[in-house]
């Protein structure tokens, strides 16, 4: 058994790539609370990471295989969680660098370690492409992504599965639905709406009239999962038997498709900020997306003992509490 410096038993060593990001810092905090020795790796140190975690400054997009190999060899991790990548406000070349090329270097670096650590790759529902309306997409469906983000995330998934099949990596891919919760990235639909609600609440408090909330047509239905539920899925995947999850994709979502129009209007109602929501066609766009995403999450229950616990209202209230000024937020809850 590994021992700590004080002679007692030590917890597992966990490396979180992208440790200062939206998901990474929460995953790191959860493992630290479990007693793990956590290394949060990112270009910029996590400002709100757990005190017991170690911040490791590293530009993962620029880090070569040799640098990564040296780092992993020095830490000797039991678990590596790849929460790094590029999504919002990045072009396809940048997404390829962050979502595919980095994964290749990470798997190559880990393959040389004894014993190899469990690698948990965070994938995306966007890897599947279009879902069938009224039905959930299982892990057996052949991916056919239609966005640069989906295509580059799929490249990363295939790299992990291939490395695991070759025996150099103990990898599992958690294919995440659209993640929601406090502090969701500003580039996402929910982040954009949360920021507007915060600005609108501030304008109201100063006696002004807030701008309407202008959005593209909200025709899509999406599977949406709470960030806390995602963290629990990662914790479960870290200790699941290799025979059960090694080299497998596991869907993590609510298992239902929710109308984005209904969800955004519910978010506005819960905020207590009275403002109109206006949908307008932005005209020709380079973005191609799908209108139905719903995951079949039965494998997650079977292999990880995981199921979503938090309600959509829980998620929306967390998001609103972090974005809307407290005096307005205090009148919420209806």
CA quadruple 231, 179, 300, 168: dihedral sign: negative
Distance of CA 31 to the CA centre of its chain: 16
Angle between the N-to-C axes of helices 148-165 and 102-111, in degrees from 0 to 180, rounded to the nearest 10: 10
CA quadruple 134, 137, 141, 144: dihedral sign: positive
Catalytic residue among 31, 149, 190, 306: 149
Residue 168, phi then psi, degrees to nearest 5:
-90, -15
Q: Which residues contact 275 (CB under 8 A, 6 or more apart)?
A: 197, 200, 210, 211, 212, 213, 268
Distance of CA 118 to the CA centre of its chain: 18
Residue pointed to by tokens 């780092």:
71
Q: Tokens representing 227?
A: 């960030």
What number of other Cβ atoms are within 10 A of residue 114's Cβ?
Answer: 7
CA quadruple 147, 152, 157, 158: dihedral sign: positive
C-alpha distances out from residue 34 to 10, 23, 50, 308, 314, Å = 11, 17, 12, 20, 24
Check if 149 is active-site.
yes
Residue 47, phi then psi, degrees to nearest 5:
-80, -20
Active site residues: 149
């Amino acid at each position: 058994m590994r021992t700590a410096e004080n002679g007692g038993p030590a917890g597992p060593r966990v490396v979180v790539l992208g440790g200062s990001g939206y998901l990474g810092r929460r995953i790191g905090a959860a493992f630290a609370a479990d007693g793990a020795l956590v290394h949060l790796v990112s270009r910029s140190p996590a400002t709100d990471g757990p005190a017991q975690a170690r911040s490791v400054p590293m530009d993962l997009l620029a880090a070569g295989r040799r640098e990564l190999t040296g780092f992993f060899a020095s830490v000797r991790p039991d678990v590596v969680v790849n929460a790094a990548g590029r999504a919002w406000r990045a072009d396809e070349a940048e997404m390829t660098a962050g979502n595919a090329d980095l994964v290749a270097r990470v798997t190559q670096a880990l393959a040389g370690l004894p014993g190899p650590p469990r690698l948990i790759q965070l994938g995306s529902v966007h890897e599947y492409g279009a879902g069938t309306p009224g039905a959930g997409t299982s892990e057996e469906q052949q991916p056919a992504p239609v966005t640069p983000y989906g295509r580059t995330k799929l490249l990363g998934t295939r790299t992990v599965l291939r490395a695991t099949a070759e025996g150099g990596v103990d990898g599992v891919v958690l294919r995440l639905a659209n993640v929601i919760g406090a502090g969701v990235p500003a580039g996402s639909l929910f982040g954009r709406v949360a920021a507007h609600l915060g600005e609108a609440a501030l304008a109201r408090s100063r006696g002004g009239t807030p701008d309407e909330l202008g959005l593209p047509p909200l025709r899509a239905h999406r599977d949406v999962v709470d960030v806390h539920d995602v963290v629990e899925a990662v914790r479960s995947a870290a200790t699941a038997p290799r025979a059960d999850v090694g080299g497998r994709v596991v869907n993590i979502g609510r298992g239902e498709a929710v109308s984005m129009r209904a969800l955004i209007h519910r978010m506005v109602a819960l905020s207590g900020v009275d403002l109109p929501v206006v949908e307008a066609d932005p005209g020709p766009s380079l973005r191609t997306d799908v209108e139905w995403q719903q995951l079949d999450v039965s494998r997650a229950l079977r292999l990880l003992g995981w199921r979503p616990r938090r309600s959509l209202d829980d998620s929306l209230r967390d998001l609103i509490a972090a974005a809307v000024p407290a005096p307005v937020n205090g009148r919420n809850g209806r």
